[in-house]
């Protein structure tokens, strides 16, 4: 752990594996960077082994390239175990320690289960939820490499599962306009050549069509869906519904 103060991040997006964040909210992360925010990604595992990847080193290089395409400022990979990811105290602390290190205002995390896909996603949601809480706990610094407590202002969930038309419940669904960054998002996913060879081209059509549908529903060319963990408040109704 670097003892020197770091420039805080505004937003951290957490995924179970490299490529989770890109698929679900890569367009939003790229847009946040364009808007001047400092953005980071945390992968809880290295995502390995997988059928076509030569190994963790190759997957990490793909993740670095994807982050470069999106323009994010920081990418960290925790040494938790792919395929055996579980919500436990040690894993909560590992993630909370990064939150204390980078001190984000907003954390984006996985929403709900992904049937027929990795159960790591559901475990990652629970780990992230707990780590957001652990990050602010006082009188417990010895568990977090003696980093200082940090209160995260807002937690937002992103759905990852494409196998269902039902979205997880929450206190407020909203769509972010990614019209200008959709191509960046798709390019960042393509950086994972070991995961998405030519025979999986349908994945890109699926992602693009879903983002087009979500965007069109909100009046944009493309969009990504998010769910706020707490009730969304509105100060100007007209500006909110007629931006």
Give dist(CA 157, CA 155) in Å, integer. Answer: 7
Q: pTM for this one? A: 0.95
Number of domains in the chain: 1
CATH number at residue 137: 3.40.50.10320
Q: Are 13 and 29 in contact (CB under 8 A)?
A: yes
Q: What is the mean pLDDT of the chain?
A: 94
| 213 — pLDDT class (breaks 50, 70, 90) | very high
Q: Domain of residue 191: give its range.
A: 11-241
Question: Is residue 217 assigned to a domain?
Answer: yes
3 domain residue, yes or no: no
pLDDT at 4 over 60: no
pLDDT tens-place string over residues 61-72: 999 999 999 999
Dihedral sign, Cα of residue 234, residue 230, residue 93, residue 12: negative
The pLDDT score that the predictor gives to residue 99 is: 98
pLDDT per position as a tens digit, 193-202? 999 999 999 9
What is the predicted pLDDT for the residue at 25?
98
Q: Is residue 2 part of a domain?
A: no
CA–CA distance, 224 with 38 (Å, rounded to integer): 19
How far from 241 is each of 28, 61, 220, 229, 231, CA to CA, in Å?
A: 20, 42, 13, 20, 16
Task: Report whether 99 contacts 153 (CB < 8 A).
Answer: no
**Per-residue model confidence (pLDDT) at position 1:** 37
- Kindly state whether residue 114 falls inside one of the protein's structural domains: yes
The confidence score (pLDDT) of residue 5 equals 66
Q: Does the structure show a pLDDT above 70 at 55? A: yes
């Amino acid at each position: 752990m670097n003892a020197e103060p770091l420039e805080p991040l505004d937003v951290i997006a957490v995924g179970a594996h490299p490529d989770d964040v890109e698929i679900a909210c890569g367009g939003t992360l790229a847009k946040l960077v364009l808007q001047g925010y400092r953005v980071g990604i945390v992968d809880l595992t290295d995502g390995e082994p997988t059928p076509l990847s030569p190994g963790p080193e190759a997957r990490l290089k793909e993740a670095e390239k994807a982050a470069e395409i999106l323009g994010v400022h920081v990418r960290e990979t925790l040494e938790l175990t792919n395929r055996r990811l579980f919500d436990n105290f040690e894993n909560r602390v590992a993630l909370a320690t990064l939150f204390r290190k980078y001190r984000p205002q907003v954390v984006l995390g996985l929403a709900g289960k992904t049937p027929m896909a990795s159960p790591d996603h559901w475990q990652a949601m629970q780990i992230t939820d707990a780590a957001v809480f652990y990050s602010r706990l006082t009188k417990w610094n010895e568990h977090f490499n003696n980093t200082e407590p940090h209160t995260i202002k807002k937690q937002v969930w992103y759905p990852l599962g494409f196998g269902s038309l039902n979205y997880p419940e929450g206190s407020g669904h909203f769509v972010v306009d990614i019209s200008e960054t959709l191509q960046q998002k798709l390019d960042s996913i393509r950086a994972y050549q070991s995961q998405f060879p030519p025979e999986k081209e349908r994945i890109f059509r699926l992602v693009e069509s879903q983002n087009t549908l979500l965007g069109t529903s909100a009046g944009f060319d493309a969009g990504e869906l998010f769910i706020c963990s707490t009730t969304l408040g509105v100060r100007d109704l007209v500006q909110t519904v007629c931006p």
